[in-house]
Structure 1
Amino acid sequence: MPDTIQQQIINAIDARFKTITIANGYNTELGADKVFEWRETPIYVNNLPVLTYRDTANEKIENGPIGFFRWSLTIEIEVEIASGAATLSNIRNVVADILKAAGTDKGTWNGLAEYTEQPSSALMVKHEENKIAGVKITFSVIYDAPAWQV
């Protein structure tokens, strides 16, 4: 059985975030082995940076074409980094990289979605043994699926 459109979008998000490297024109090295879907294991300072994304809600919305349902898939992204004095500027670079990745194809995720709505973000800083900064970014991927499917 083929993947649902929702799963195909999640796969596209995962693949896109894994391309976030300096070699690919980004500001940071978040990609590859630092990107996780629904990570549940503890994150330790020596594991940072880490990007975890979750599809936390999928709501049917108005205006889908005839024979289709239009969905709003909520994606929450959390990133934590530890890098000393430059932590805040580094986390702002992380936000820029995530937005750049999401907007690569105008937020259509390889043509699977209609568009991606403007995200929101919230920064945080923890002062423990190490200075750790984080950001939570939320955006909605708007896509159509045949009626009664996701």
Structure 2
Amino acid sequence: MTCHTSAREVWDRVRALSGRSRPPSVPILTTDRGSVTEASEVAEELARHFATVSSSEAYFDTFRQRKTETERTEIDFGGGTSEAYNMPLTMGEAHSPPQLCLRSTPVRYVEKVRFLGLLFDKKLRWQAHIDAVEVQSRKALSLLRFVGRFRWGADRETAKKF
């Protein structure tokens, strides 16, 4: 195993070494004509099924009519320069963050984000992370200096009594 070995391969080897490995399963597909176990036959049966499902005969008549009408009209690819997508970007648009959505929920824009212990800024530079680590290190060092000024534990005379 190397650093390039996938997690699945690692766990398969762990299961094999522990004696809990499963033999590879034979692909079995049950159809109206019976069971299919050969890989090429399974592929053919799936292709046959997808062909029947995606063919025009599987659609409703109203949908087929609408599809035929829509396919007759030509698509105009010669958009003019006055279209919104052909306008040049302004400096404000070039530097403003895009409006992103995840499943129709807007994603909030942030200047910095912490991910896996690293701090990333909007340009993916390291300076924000280095500054944050420096602040944390200074706080820890200050605390160690404060604690180091005191003598801890009992002095020699008190320790001799016990």
TM-score, normalised on structure 2? Answer: 0.19
Question: Which structure has the highest strand share of the two?
Answer: 1
Q: Radius of gyration: which is bigger?
A: 2
TM-score, normalised on structure 1? Answer: 0.20
